[in-house]
Chains A and B, each alone.
Chain A
Amino acid sequence: MSGVISWLQPRPEGLYCVPGNFFIDPLRPVARAVITHGHADHARPEQDRVLATPETLAIMRTRMGEDRAGKTQQALRYGETLALGGVSLRLAPAGHVLGSAQVVMEHAGQRAVVSGDYKRAADPTCTPFEPVTCDLFVTEATFALPVFRHPDPMHEIGKLLHNMTLFPERTHAIGAYGLGKCQRVIALLRQAGYDAPIYLHGALLPVCALYQEFGVDLGDLRPATGEAKAALRGALVIGPPAAVTDRWARRMADPVVCMASGWMRVRQRARARGVELPLVISDHADWDELLMTCSEVGAEEIWVTHGREDALIHALSLRQIRGRALRLLGYGDEDEAE
């Protein structure tokens, strides 16, 4: 095992902390799991003991059902420290979705931070990312190409609202991932002054309700199911990405298919999915944010869990930072899920 820290190891099940005897975001059921956030590729069901933020635990219960969200659940708030075996463990906000956390571990005078997924841009629905200096930083690399520079999300919302004035008769149907993106888009719309009811695909309702329980104000939300075509004329509807480009959208009046995703920055990606109004809104760090974060945390070595690690590792090498691709399979399909 090379590298500055030998007590954190990539294993087939996921990243393993040896002195703490736990896995971070394990891909299969294990005895003890620390979960960074509630997305399906990071939080998997049927774990024995689960440790995460209270928000993430609630999200897991909502999405998986009580019985599959871990036999025992242990909550750890942002900033609280817990000794686990020989490790001191803390969860720091990651700014990705509600409850998302970086796992901060200290052992033998060394500190390692596993970011999970994160972003640096402001998000009214979750606590902002907190940079933690460390010896080893384990980062995601979903958008690690210099072509990905996310614009100001309010600009994208402005585009949407202008389009609604141009086509007042049409239903604007936004494809948005059900945890995080959907609620952020709603919150941004509210921030921009849009206060009409927003209609939701049934699959999105429970997590929105949960966000509201945690004090995130999303305004007047209504189920789209059962609404007549005429009621949705001129309205805003949000559904899972696969639904708005498929049969579900047929219930709407001449829909404008919109998609809120960082991938929309590349035109061919948007066209291939039949999107008419791409909204470049991402819950992941863009290229500049990845590089900024990697230098801010001051780590000697950076591990890359999932995404486009080749470009990021090359760019880090230009900055004299040693990068290593973990090539963990099984992460990173959340934003593209069909």
Chain B
Amino acid sequence: MIAFASLLERLIFTPSRNAKIALLRDYFTTAPDPDRGYALAAMAGALSFSAAKPGLIRALAAERMDPVLFDLSYDYVGDLAETVALMWQVDAGRPDRVAPSLGDVVMALETTPKAALPDLVGAWLDASESSERFAILKLITGALRVGASARLAKTALAEIAGVPTDDIEEVWHGLAPPYDALFAWIEGRGARPDMADAPVFRPTMLAQPLDEAELDRFVASEWRAEWKWDGIRVQLVRTAQGARLYTRTADDIGNGFPEIVQAMDDMTEDAVLDGELLVMQDGEPAPFSSLQQRLNRKSPGPAMLRNFPAGVRLYDILFDGTEDVRGLGFDARRARLEAWFARVRPKRMDLSPLVDFANMDALAEIRAGARAAAIEGLMLKRADSPYLAGRPRGPWWKWKREALTVDAVMMYAQRGHGRRSSYYSDYTFGLWRVGEDGVDELVPIGKAYSGITDEELAFLDRWVRNHTIGRFGPVREVEKSLVLEVAFDAAQRSARHKSGVALRFPRIARIRTDKPAHEADRLAEFVAQTL
């Protein structure tokens, strides 16, 4: 347990992706089986224990700890598992207990009946030190996906094996904890696991952002265009062994979208399909904020399913039945997709239409005219492009529509993470409105932490330090005198924000030292023009 507990500890505090991978590699190469496999499962969210619940921890705390001291401590620490882990007083009467291994803990949590758990967990906590106790309690509350995603863990495994991460993804969903076959394969002790009929994820083909200067070289007849939808990219996999809904990073999100999984179960033919997950209202895609409601829920209730029904807009096919069609060109796959769709008529799915255009100028006009909230821009795909894993340069381009901008005033600043941790690099900015007392006030409309060069970052950092008027923990309030031109992709109404508006992908476009703060934009006009 100690190695896993230390890993968990380090991952929580390590901001950099590369450093996390180094820590994971160190762990996966030194930890024994089956512990490392269960650790991997925990990070990938592949473990759940029905009998062990947070209530168990509260009960144990009440049994072992003085209530006044517990309340004072919980109040100070703020996290139940951590409070108990730190406070736990080892039962000195039973000094001979042996600390459990991660494998022991996982297997016991899976099989032990509820009534026997408090004693068992208490004995584990007695035999462990505080970071191990923390790991055990986080396992019980199912909150282990801290600090590292499944994707990072798989990247670390791929680096050990010397293969692309997508190779791990391809076999991943056909495997189960503690992944003996996977470790055997990456360590060269065994063959690559055979995934013949399993509903596994296939690496996604991604597009590069279009450099408009290159547009002149494009011959219109060689290209196909589609709308770029503002949902999330998904892969639908239906094989003889089941149906799965994956994100483009191979997370299985089927539990959150049961209506889509049902629609796949009902399909009359197998397929692996590529498309956009959207919330559909009256046959039209709703803005991203509606989908966000669904993404926030692990398992949606009936009201959620009714008010925010999900659908998939299909744009590609990877497997037609059991036939791998990834090697075919785009036009040929499109024909396969349309024919499959006509035969199967799947529920909750439609085809993303091709956008007709005579020449590139005409396409530019179509792009400029697109204003629907669910459209982010255009996708350009070469008519002859096969379906390749990763983000190859050349065959697919994303051509986002022009960003919108607003001139806002910096209000607060906060330090960044990792490389930027010594800089004030996260900025909250606001727009003017008339306050209750009739005087103009700023109301925050968003937060941005990207878009600037290192020189601009150094400038803003200095500016923040020299214009601080208040401090709240890590946050500095600054003089309301610096105008930032903020670019964003879309604006949506939001009840959660004081201003009533939320920006999508805000980033700093320019620092407007030339503009007096009172000339920054006003909320009322901004809402009228943008929403």
Contact = CB atoms under 8 A, between A and B. Distances in A.
Interface of A: 145-149, 151, 159, 163, 166-167, 245-247, 249-250, 254, 256-257, 265-268, 270-272, 274-278, 308, 310-311, 314-315, 318
A285 B421 CA distance: 31
Contact of A267 (B23, B69, B82, B417): B82
B13 A146 contact: no
Given A266-B82, A268-B77, A276-B14, A314 B68 contact: yes
A315 B86 contact: no
**Which of B83, B86, B419 is the most central at the interface, judged by chain A CB atoms within 10 Å of its CB?**
B86
Contacts of A268: 77-79
Nearest to B421: A274
B73 A145 contact: yes
Contacts of A148: 86
B422 A249 contact: yes
Contacts of B72: 145, 308, 310-311, 314
A270 B9 CA distance: 11
Contacts of A250: 422
Interface in B28-84: 65-66, 68-69, 72-73, 76-79, 82-83
Contact of A254 (B82, B129, B419): B419
Given A147-B86, A167-B22, A276-B15, A314 B69 contact: yes
B412 to A, nearest CB: 16
B415 interface: yes
21 contacts: A145-B72, A146-B73, A147-B83, A149-B130, A166-B22, A167-B19, A167-B22, A249-B422, A256-B19, A266-B77, A267-B13, A267-B82, A268-B79, A271-B13, A274-B415, A274-B421, A275-B13, A278-B13, A308-B76, A311-B69, A314-B66
Contacts of A247: 422
B425 to A, nearest CB: 12
A270 B419 contact: no
B474 A272 contact: yes
A148 B72 CA distance: 12
B361 interface: no
B11 to A, nearest CB: 11
A19 B82 CA distance: 48
A315 B69 contact: yes
Given A147-B86, A245-B422, A274 B417 contact: yes
A319 to B, nearest CB: 12
B473 interface: yes
Interface string B306-317: 000000000000
A266 B422 contact: no
B26 interface: yes
B14 A265 contact: no
Contacts of B77: 147, 266, 268
A166 B83 CA distance: 30
A250 B6 CA distance: 28
Contacts of A257: 421
B76 A266 contact: yes
Contact of A266 (B19, B23, B86, B417): B86
Contacts of A151: 129-130
Contacts of B417: 274
Contacts of A308: 72, 76
Interface residues of B, number: 34
Given A147-B87, A167-B22, A270 B13 contact: yes
A166 B19 CA distance: 9
Contacts of B107: none
Nearest 8 CB-CB pairs, A to B?
A147-B86, A146-B87, A274-B421, A147-B73, A311-B72, A314-B68, A276-B13, A146-B69
B503 to A, nearest CB: 26
B198 to A, nearest CB: 36
Contacts of A147: 73, 76-77, 83, 86-87
A162 to B, nearest CB: 9
Contacts of B13: 267, 270-271, 275-278
Contacts of B422: 245-247, 249-250
A151 B5 CA distance: 15
**Which of A147, A246, A247 is the most central at the interface, judged by chain B CB atoms within 10 Å of its CB?**
A147
A299 B72 CA distance: 25
B372 interface: no
Contacts of B86: 146-149, 265-266
B524 interface: no
A272 B89 CA distance: 27
**Which of A145, A247, A250 is the most central at the interface, judged by chain B CB atoms within 10 Å of its CB?**
A145
Interface in B440-487: 473-474
A272 B83 contact: no
A318 B79 CA distance: 26
B76 A145 contact: yes
Given A271-B13, A308-B72, 18 more contacts: A145-B72, A149-B86, A159-B6, A166-B22, A245-B421, A257-B421, A265-B86, A266-B77, A267-B82, A268-B77, A272-B473, A272-B474, A274-B421, A275-B13, A310-B72, A311-B69, A315-B66, A315-B69
B217 to A, nearest CB: 40
A308 B72 CA distance: 10
A258 to B, nearest CB: 10
Given A149-B130, A274-B415, A166 B23 contact: yes
A124 B87 CA distance: 28
A336 B130 CA distance: 23
A207 to B, nearest CB: 25
Nearest to A278: B13
Contacts of B19: 167, 256, 276
A76 B37 CA distance: 62
A247 B15 CA distance: 18
B304 interface: no
Contacts of A266: 76-77, 82, 86
Interface string B126-139: 00011000000000
Contacts of A272: 473-474
A256 B419 CA distance: 10
Nearest to A270: B13
A274 B82 CA distance: 19
B12 interface: yes
A249 B77 CA distance: 28
A224 to B, nearest CB: 15
Nearest to A170: B19
A266 B86 CA distance: 8
Contacts of A315: 66, 69
B27 to A, nearest CB: 10
A265 B83 CA distance: 11
Contacts of A166: 22-23, 26
Contacts of A311: 68-69, 72-73
Nearest to A310: B72
A275 B418 CA distance: 10
Contacts of B10: 163, 277
Nearest to B461: A247
Contacts of A274: 415, 417, 421, 474
A314 B65 CA distance: 13
**Which of B12, B65, B66, B73 is the most central at the interface, judged by chain A CB atoms within 10 Å of its CB?**
B73
A31 B10 CA distance: 51
Contacts of B68: 311, 314
A290 to B, nearest CB: 13
A267 B9 CA distance: 9
**Which of A167, A249, A310 is the most central at the interface, judged by chain B CB atoms within 10 Å of its CB?**
A167
A249 B418 CA distance: 12
A272 B78 CA distance: 13
Nearest to A246: B422
B87 A267 contact: no
